[in-house]
């Protein structure tokens, strides 16, 4: 195995963005860039041995800077939404940047995703990226040191390990926002991909995509992926939640079944399968609903609606305002640690 470091581009202020390329001996290639600690590309063989990139995003820095919908990016310090951009911490109101419709705080206003991280290779199959967020950034309390380690293993796993410590009490919720298309190109959408999600409940949302607080059973709804079902089978159902979000953009409450992946996605034409494992309580299934062909992705291909799917492992959205959800408040000096693994197979 090997890790190669090269130049990817320059930010508008001249700062260099680097590209890390890690290869294993089965022909899998993982690429990570220092802008947003982004998973830039993941090349994997299909059932005929043809190697393609199974992530949807941009070839160059230009795309990441001008068109991004968080393609491949790490999101922090709080991924997903916080209602009205505010919550109570130690009896005091914390007011965050309200970057979505002037109301909610989405993806912490992109702070970690738009930053150029420091990075260094580790051994022959990993890279560690680090970023320090200043006290008060996007309104959050505490200077935070964060690290993300990407490892590619010989058994075809991409492991993403997050760790972070703040010097004041704060909420912490990292994710990776990769859009996958297992066909190996964004020419076709992902509606034919077959998904199994070990989640008997999900968190329905209001019109601002904020959880209502209910943990709703998936049974007899289009949200039931407990048996393998194509993503497109019910995506156009006249279900109020689906219509409101133009598809799936919901947090599922993971059951964490022993010995099983939390999610499995299979693409029948290429034979590629992706398994997702996480220690976090939830995952956001987002089916690229807001892509509409106006932004141009890798290979000059316009990113059409549902060109990719995301499985963003996370604490539930708006957790700081829901005392009943699994909590993600960390004390000053207390370490946040979490791991998500993407495993690649072919059948
Ligand atoms: C998350 C959100 C979506 C959308 C994307 C980024 O998945 O839940 O609503 O904002 O990020 O485009």
| 101, 286, 291: residue to mutate for ligand 1 pocket, most atoms within 8 A of CB | 286
* CA-245 nearest atom, ligand 1: 9
Residue with CA closest to ligand 1 atom 8? 249
312 carries an active-site annotation:
yes
Cα–Cα distance for residue pair 212/222, rounded to 1 Å: 18
Pairing of strands 51-53, 126-133: unpaired
3-state helix, strand, coil in the chain (%, to 5): 10, 45, 50
306 carries an active-site annotation:
no
In angstroms, what is the span from residue 187 Cα to ligand 1's centroid? 21
Are 248 and 230 in contact by the 8 Å Cβ rule? The answer is no
In angstroms, what is the span from residue 1 Cα to ligand 1's centroid? 34
64, 267, 306, 312: the catalytic one is 312
Q: CB count, 10 Å around CB of 75?
A: 24
Are 178 and 55 in contact by the 8 Å Cβ rule? The answer is yes
Residue with CA closest to ligand 1 atom 7? 286
- Amino acid 2: pLDDT: 87
- Amino acid 1: pLDDT: 85
64, 177, 250, 322: the catalytic one is 177
Cα–Cα distance for residue pair 76/174, rounded to 1 Å: 5
In angstroms, what is the span from residue 107 Cα to ligand 1's centroid? 8
Q: Which residues line ligand 1 (CB under 6 A)?
A: 69-70, 80, 106, 209, 249, 284, 286, 290, 310, 312
In angstroms, what is the span from residue 286 Cα to ligand 1's centroid? 7
| 70, 109, 202, 246: residue to mutate for ligand 1 pocket, most atoms within 8 A of CB | 70
Tens place of pLDDT per residue across the chain (347 aa): 889 999 999 999 999 999 999 999 999 999 999 999 999 999 999 999 999 999 999 999 999 999 999 999 999 999 999 999 999 999 999 999 999 999 999 999 999 999 999 999 999 999 999 999 999 999 999 999 999 999 999 999 999 999 999 999 999 999 999 999 999 999 999 999 999 999 999 999 999 999 999 999 999 999 999 999 999 999 999 999 999 999 999 999 999 999 999 999 999 999 999 999 999 999 999 999 999 999 999 999 999 999 999 999 999 999 999 999 999 999 999 999 999 999 999 99
Are 308 and 298 in contact by the 8 Å Cβ rule? The answer is no
In angstroms, what is the span from residue 137 Cα to ligand 1's centroid? 21
């Amino acid at each position: 195995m090997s890790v190669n470091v090269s130049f990817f581009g320059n930010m508008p202020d001249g700062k260099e963005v680097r590209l890390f390329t890690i290869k294993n001996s089965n022909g899998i290639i993982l690429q990570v860039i220092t802008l947003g600690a982004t998973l830039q590309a993941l090349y994997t063989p299909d059932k005929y041995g043809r190697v393609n990139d199974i992530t949807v995003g941009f070839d160059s820095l230009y795309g990441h800077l001008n068109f991004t919908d968080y393609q491949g990016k790490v999101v922090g310090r709080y991924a997903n939404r916080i209602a009205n951009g505010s919550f109570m911490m130690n009896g005091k109101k914390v007011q965050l940047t309200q970057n979505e419709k002037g109301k909610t705080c989405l993806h912490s206003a992109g702070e970690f995703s738009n930053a150029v991280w420091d990075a260094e290779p580790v051994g022959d199959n990993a890279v560690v990226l680090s970023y320090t967020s200043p006290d008060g950034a996007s309104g959050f309390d505490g200077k935070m040191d964060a690290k993300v380690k990407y490892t590619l293993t010989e058994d075809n796993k991409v492991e993403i390990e997050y760790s972070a410590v703040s010097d004041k009490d704060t909420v912490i919720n990292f994710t990776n926002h990769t859009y996958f298309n297992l066909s190996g190109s964004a020419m076709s959408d992902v509606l034919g991909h077959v998904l199994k999600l070990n989640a008997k409940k999900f968190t329905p949302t209001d019109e601002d995509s904020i959880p209502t607080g209910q943990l709703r059973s998936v049974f007899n709804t289009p949200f039931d992926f407990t048996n393998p079902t194509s993503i497109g089978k019910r995506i156009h159902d006249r279900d109020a939640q689906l219509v409101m979000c133009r598809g799936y953009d919901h947090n599922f409450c993971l059951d964490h079944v022993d010995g099983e992946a939390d999610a499995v996605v299979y693409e029948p034409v290429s034979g590629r399968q992706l398994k997702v494992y996480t220690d976090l309580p939830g995952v956001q299934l987002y089916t690229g609903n807001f892509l509409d062909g106006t932004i141009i992705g890798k290979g000059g291909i316009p990113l059409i609606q549902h060109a990719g799917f995301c499985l963003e492992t996370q604490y539930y959205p708006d957790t700081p305002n829901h005392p009943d959800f699994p909590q993600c408040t960390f004390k000053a000096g207390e370490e946040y640690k979490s791991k998500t693994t993407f495993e690649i197979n072919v059948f």
